[in-house]
Structure 1
Amino acid sequence: MLISPPFLPPRVSSQTENQWIDTAMPGGEPGNGAYPVSYKLSWHGGLHLRAPARSDGGVEPVGAIADGIVVYRRGSTEPPAAPTPEAPLGYQGRTSDGVVVIRHETETGAARQSSIPTRVVFLSVYMHMHTLRATVQPGRRIHRKDELGQAGYIRGQPHQIHFEIICDDANLRQLIGRDSGIVQLTADGRSDAIFGELYFHLAETTPVYAQCPPRIQSRPPGGAPLGEELIVGLRYAEGEGTESTRGHAYVTKYRLAGAPLGEALPIPDAEYDIYRHATEISEAYPANARPAPSAVFELLRFGRVVGPDPLVPVDVPHWRLIRTPAGTGWVNLNAQGVHKFSDADFPHWRGWLLITDIDGDSLCNDATIMRAVDVNRDGTITADEVHARLDAPAIQSFLKTLICKLPTEWEAATIEGRRGWLKTPSPSNPKPLQEEQFARLRSHIEALAFWQQANLHLPQYNAEGQPVGERALPNTHWHFNPREFIRAFRKCGWLSLPELARLIPRRISYTQHGQLRTASNVGQVSRAAATTRLQAYALHLNLVARKYGISSARHRFAHFFAQTIIETDRWQVVYEYGRGAPDRRIPMAEYYAAFYGRGIMQLTWAGNYESYGQFRNLPMHRGAYVDRRIGVDSNHYWCDPTVRDADARILKVAGIPKRWAPRFDPNVVETDAFMACDSGGFYWVRKYLSKSGAEININRAADDDFSPRTIGRVSVLVNGGGNGYYERQAYAQYARRILLDTTEVGATQDYLTPRNNVTVRVDYDEPN
């Protein structure tokens, strides 16, 4: 899911992701458009957000939060001058009535060993728009960050919108894995969607050790019981933080009620070094009983195995240092009885609770919320109590992660049933509305209502998660705090096929050696062609990017995908042209020959194939190889065997070839879609960043500032830097604009590259 806030102010380098989201979505304070209740305990299904100010004196426009289809539009009917207080749109101050509703269809993952993605559909509602762009029309496709218009007035306050995110029961199950209750701790959480922080439920009898036990011992003697039931959280930095902490992991201990116990314990460079640690753990076992490093990698990355390689033995330990009442201690997060979850489960210990309105009116009477605001626990909630409690930071924190099933406030036919209680005095409503006042409120709501005209529909799903038709969205449906919804799903790097297809540029255009090379009618890639090319690989590409921590940070995926574009000739092939035949343009081809480049990163040389086979524990091959250059007793070079002079001219061949058989057939790296993608992720995370071998993982390089210099370094690490250097620069910048939160809108943009000071011109036009 590719998602962003409706306002996109610039992000300064010192801001964290959470700080930037708060800056981009200000507003929604208690008594002024808070979620999910007002000072009168009236349900409020969205947030009132203020458009952030711009440096030019204006304010940020309202943008689409994700790709989607406009399903409803109503332009503002405000008169040129502010309406009178008696007018429907003048009630309690000038209020704008422009509205846009967008239907978003995307994915958040896929079930284990399944080709069925977890599809989700939800609606975003932008209310109180002052102006709408003419391009925003029902039925028209819109992209994330596309401008919708300008925020309007809410009760006399300018530059504000009411913003909602809503869905039905079926799509709530797709989004959070359930539509009632809390996460059950008796089994692992969902495996179709896994993102964000990982969680491990530990029983009070879980043994804790003062020193880290041997790598392969799952329950050595001498441990002391934990003494309390709790949750351990494991979070990878995923490129966030300072230059020295972007690859860290952090271990936090939580009570079941959700309160963290002490500061998180950092593990320096733990994310960058998962491959190295997985290999070390595997090699600690006897040679004839080693678990596949690939499976151990997933154990460290997700806390469990979610890919095709089984973990054998199943009790490979996952040791982590946690805080204990006595200080710190080591626990095995893969011990029997430990169940695993992630932020994709929307767990209750992080505050995610489902609330259902019982009687269908707009007055909150939910027992969970009532207990939170009833200060003296006397069962009677006064207006003063409500004000005091809703202003308390702890209560605001509690309310923001409630997912509430409420009636819409935008339906005209149900105003009396939803709002009639405002005419009745109560402790929380000591000043009820008189009939004349209620009539004015009614006319105000009627002027803003749009529900009947919108006729919104959402898909339903069968037990396998496949859409089986649609039905109209009922007027009572699920609401999220929009700020927290966006915050949560920005951790999900999984992209739908249409989102992936947008990343392939429609045409090539760049400046090289002072001349503009514009392939305006050569090599064009239509949207349909891009979709077709990625169709067989989209699922596997997502699985691999998630596994190797590439998609969890969108700047990493921009680098990664840009490299695959040229390695696969814009996703037309997953093999090297020429297939290793002697070629004067590629002098090394005669040495790697049958071990020519295959997969989305063109794995080349027998040595790299051998390492990939060892990583996956691929079985030995029996019978003939597809490429007849490989035989039962044929010998091949593991790496470049040549000795060269300062000008890279070959002086002699000094390497000694070795026999390949009976290792696996390298042809599967081309013909198996998962291996084609997985081999690319494998290469990415095990790549040495320097000859010293001290640092590995191209994510480490990609986490530097997104610049031509960094793109150049990543390109050199992938390909040596010679083939398609300038195209790689252009492709990375193209992907950056789509994936990141930049707001450039020009059809072209120039970037000065560090190699020969060549300017690359990136063409952002997107024809059909």
Structure 2
Amino acid sequence: MQFENGECELTTFALRQDGSCNQVGDPSSVHDYEYHMYSEATRLNKKYSDGSTAPANPSPKAPSPSLIYEMLRFGRPAGETMPSDVKFGHWRKVTTPEATGWINLNQPTIGVYSDADFPQWAGWSLINDDAGATSLCASPTIRRWLDLDGNGHVTHAEAKEALKEKAVVKRLSMAICKFPIEWSKDESTIKARWGWVNQASEALPVPLTADEFDLLKAHIQALGFWEDIHDGELPKADACWHFPPKAFVAHFRKCGWLSTVEMAQCFPRRLLHLQGVKFVLSTTSWDTASARSEKWVAAFNIGTRRYGISVNRLRLIHLLSHVIPETGNLHYVKEINGELREYQPHYGRGLIQLTHLANYKSYGSFRGFADGNSPLKFNGLGWDPDVLIAKDNDGNHNTSNCVDSACFYVSNRTHMLEHMDAGCSKENAILVSKDVNGYVEIQNLNGLDVRLQAVVYLKSIFMDESNESGPTSITFDWRRNSQQEPVLDEHGHVVMVGHPPRPKKKFYRTQHTIHIVMERQQP
């Protein structure tokens, strides 16, 4: 099962006797499935009985929408535990060798794997049958792959022809093989591995001379390092697993799990903030970025994995570009002076600060929080955001739910994941900002100055672009003043509203061009 650009595609493979897997029929695909997974989880939750059935024949207890969401994405609970009294059938349409039909993927006989398992059906092979000590391949398995005529003997010419076959090249490119290490500088090991080049063969009609072999040996010893590594956990030189380099790099690029160092690099060292009508520089040191990332990295990785954000670099760029201004680089998880807002006590909390009663209700319902045991001020909500998300900016917060609520908000906003997947241009960043703040006029988008800078910076971290630090210009429309300004009538007089009268204010739109140095965050 694979998610990509909203699509959910299920492909069936059948295992052959030779250990390879072949695809069965065409994949079963559901258009925009991932983009609507939140609403699907909510819909399925509501299909459970409300408990009004007869006690003698009770209906199964309903899993929370968030638990259903995990089951739909991963095929198993990832962040929550499936209660013993909860039943959930994950029915999916699949193609089998016999027919196309429906299978319940949530049952004990179904094994669940991920890319981290290097599954056989994804094309990976473990080759451990080469007993030779030379650098020549003597694996019976690989020789069978190259044996085009199936006569049990592989000639040099036949092997060369086999390497032109796409299926053979594909299998070899994903073969994880065990054979002696090539980075040893031990003279006896070099002779054992490379001594064959001193003799004529079908693959080497003209062998190396003694002097040429000595030159080769000196070159290998100059590059060798295996004997210089002092670690009792290292395997012996004759017992090492080798990944195909290109496939290894391509495979691990799928991993969106960030280390503390990698996460710290995501917080720009220099940012310009509009204060009044001028842009003022703020800086974040490496020590600060590193210390904060260390506190947040585990929860961030779990949350972004749970909601399918970390599997896509574009999604990480857009999410972090909002986390940076919303939290002041992971410093604030509670809206400053939120108690003074008309929507208090449901002011901003979390990494993308969840605000307003309706959003709190949606999140609480999704997670199954409402239990009625909440303080009086949250009586209409049924759970306590001060405990389950954040009470203040002094450390009284739930790190996991600060991240989770932000990822939830991203996932349930209509078209937001779709807009994230579309790219990370200035126009993409503005559209995603509108997804977060509402589709208001551009001057009313909060933090747009930092968000646009963050997207440009994060592109150099996550995408295959130049990492060089240098001046960059960004031109964009936004508010001309960080504070709202009085509204004037056609005569230039300040418009007064309310009782007692007070000046009516708004943000005025203008165009800015800022010149920034995208300095890498590093020690």
TM-score normalized by structure 2?
0.81
CA separation in 2, counterparts of 1:732 and 1:299?
32
Partner of 1:761: 515
Selected match of 1:737 from 456, 460, 469: 460
SS at match of 1:536: helix
User: Alpha carbons of 1:762 and 1:262: their partners in 2 closer, same or farther (altered >3 Å)?
Assistant: farther
Partner of 1:680: 406
Equivalences for 1:360-759 in 2 at 5 Å? 360-412=133-185, 413=187, 414-424=189-199, 429=203, 431=205, 433=207, 437-453=209-225, 457=229, 474=237, 477-509=240-272, 517-519=279-281, 523-578=282-337, 580-582=338-340, 589=341, 591-618=342-369, 620=371, 622=373, 630-631=375-376, 634=377, 659-660=379-380, 662-670=382-390, 671-687=397-413, 696-720=414-438, 721-743=444-466, 745-755=468-478, 756-759=510-513
Equivalences for 1:116-155 in 2 at 5 Å? none
Bigger shift: 320-329 or 330-339? Answer: 320-329
Deviations 1:119-148 (A, max 9, x none): xxxxxxxxxxxxxxxxxxxxxxxxxxxxxx
When the two chains are superposed, the root-mean-square deviation of aligned CA atoms in Å is 2.8
Alignment size in residue pairs: 464
- The alpha-carbon deviation at position 724 of structure 1 amounts to 1.4
Between the two proteins, what is the percent identity of the paired residues?
A: 30
SS at match of 2:209: helix
CA separation in 1, counterparts of 2:427 and 2:455?
12
- The alpha-carbon deviation at position 707 of structure 1 amounts to 1.5
CA separation in 1, counterparts of 2:151 and 2:199?
21
- The alpha-carbon deviation at position 311 of structure 1 amounts to 5.6
Partner of 1:323: 95
CA separation in 2, counterparts of 1:358 and 1:415?
17
- The alpha-carbon deviation at position 325 of structure 1 amounts to 5.0
Equivalences for 1:168-183 in 2 at 5 Å? none
Deviations 1:657-695 (A, max 9, x none): xx42643454321221111110111111112xxxxxxxx
> Which amino acid letter does the alignment assign opposite residue 269 of structure 2?
R
Deviations 1:167-214 (A, max 9, x none): xxxxxxxxxxxxxxxxxxxxxxxxxxxxxxxxxxxxxxxxxxxxxxxx
Higher strand fraction (1 or 2): 1
User: Alpha carbons of 1:311 and 1:725: their partners in 2 closer, same or farther (altered >3 Å)?
Assistant: farther
Selected match of 2:38 from 275, 279, 300: 275
Equivalences for 1:5-154 in 2 at 5 Å? none
Contact 1:708–1:754 (8 Å) recurs in 2: no
CA separation in 1, counterparts of 2:513 and 2:231?
47
User: Alpha carbons of 1:760 and 1:477: their partners in 2 closer, same or farther (altered >3 Å)?
Assistant: farther
- The alpha-carbon deviation at position 269 of structure 1 amounts to 0.4
CA separation in 1, counterparts of 2:346 and 2:238?
60
CA separation in 2, counterparts of 1:370 and 1:268?
42
- The alpha-carbon deviation at position 420 of structure 1 amounts to 1.8
User: Alpha carbons of 1:309 and 1:742: their partners in 2 closer, same or farther (altered >3 Å)?
Assistant: same
CA separation in 1, counterparts of 2:139 and 2:436?
56
SS at match of 1:364: coil
User: Alpha carbons of 1:260 and 1:505: their partners in 2 closer, same or farther (altered >3 Å)?
Assistant: same
Deviations 1:574-632 (A, max 9, x none): 11112x222xxxxxx1x32122211111111222222212111125254xx6xxxx42x
CA separation in 2, counterparts of 1:534 and 1:697?
29
Deviations 1:509-554 (A, max 9, x none): 3689985x341xxx42111211111222111111111111111110
> Which amino acid letter does the alignment assign opposite residue 383 of structure 2?
R
SS at match of 1:504: coil
Deviations 1:673-725 (A, max 9, x none): 111110111111112xxxxxxxx252111122322122112122223453212
Contact 1:410–1:445 (8 Å) recurs in 2: no
SS at match of 2:35: coil
SS at match of 1:492: coil
TM-score normalized by structure 1?
0.56
Contact 1:403–1:480 (8 Å) recurs in 2: yes
- The alpha-carbon deviation at position 484 of structure 1 amounts to 1.0
User: Alpha carbons of 1:290 and 1:279: their partners in 2 closer, same or farther (altered >3 Å)?
Assistant: same
- The alpha-carbon deviation at position 765 of structure 1 amounts to 1.2
User: Alpha carbons of 1:710 and 1:383: their partners in 2 closer, same or farther (altered >3 Å)?
Assistant: closer
- The alpha-carbon deviation at position 346 of structure 1 amounts to 0.6
- The alpha-carbon deviation at position 236 of structure 1 amounts to 0.6
Partner of 1:165: none
User: Alpha carbons of 1:593 and 1:511: their partners in 2 closer, same or farther (altered >3 Å)?
Assistant: closer
- The alpha-carbon deviation at position 306 of structure 1 amounts to 1.1
CA separation in 2, counterparts of 1:476 and 1:762?
52
Contact 1:540–1:674 (8 Å) recurs in 2: yes
User: Alpha carbons of 1:744 and 1:497: their partners in 2 closer, same or farther (altered >3 Å)?
Assistant: closer
SS at match of 1:287: coil
Contact 1:609–1:666 (8 Å) recurs in 2: no
Partner of 2:65: 293
CA separation in 2, counterparts of 1:503 and 1:247?
26
Deviations 1:46-86 (A, max 9, x none): xxxxxxxxxxxxxxxxxxxxxxxxxxxxxxxxxxxxxxxxx
User: Alpha carbons of 1:708 and 1:380: their partners in 2 closer, same or farther (altered >3 Å)?
Assistant: closer
Stretches (4+) displaced over 6 A: 510-514
User: Alpha carbons of 1:258 and 1:764: their partners in 2 closer, same or farther (altered >3 Å)?
Assistant: same
User: Alpha carbons of 1:525 and 1:458: their partners in 2 closer, same or farther (altered >3 Å)?
Assistant: farther
Partner of 1:349: 121
- The alpha-carbon deviation at position 374 of structure 1 amounts to 3.1
Partner of 2:56: none
> Which amino acid letter does the alignment assign opposite residue 570 of structure 1?
N
User: Does residue 1:310 correspond to 2:30, yes or no?
Assistant: no
CA separation in 1, counterparts of 2:336 and 2:116?
41
CA separation in 2, counterparts of 1:398 and 1:472?
26
Partner of 1:466: none
CA separation in 2, counterparts of 1:763 and 1:320?
50
Higher relative contact order (CA 8 A, sep 6+): 1
- The alpha-carbon deviation at position 335 of structure 1 amounts to 3.1
> Which amino acid letter does the alignment assign opposite residue 745 of structure 1?
E
CA separation in 1, counterparts of 2:231 and 2:287?
24
CA separation in 1, counterparts of 2:298 and 2:122?
29
Contact 1:510–1:518 (8 Å) recurs in 2: yes
Gap runs ≥5 in structure 1: 1-233, 238-245, 461-469, 583-588, 637-658, 688-695
SS at match of 2:177: strand
CA separation in 2, counterparts of 1:268 and 1:543?
26
Partner of 2:481: none
- The alpha-carbon deviation at position 365 of structure 1 amounts to 1.3
User: Alpha carbons of 1:605 and 1:304: their partners in 2 closer, same or farther (altered >3 Å)?
Assistant: same
- The alpha-carbon deviation at position 754 of structure 1 amounts to 4.1
> Which amino acid letter does the alignment assign opposite residue 493 of structure 1?
G
SS at match of 1:483: helix
CA separation in 2, counterparts of 1:281 and 1:475?
54
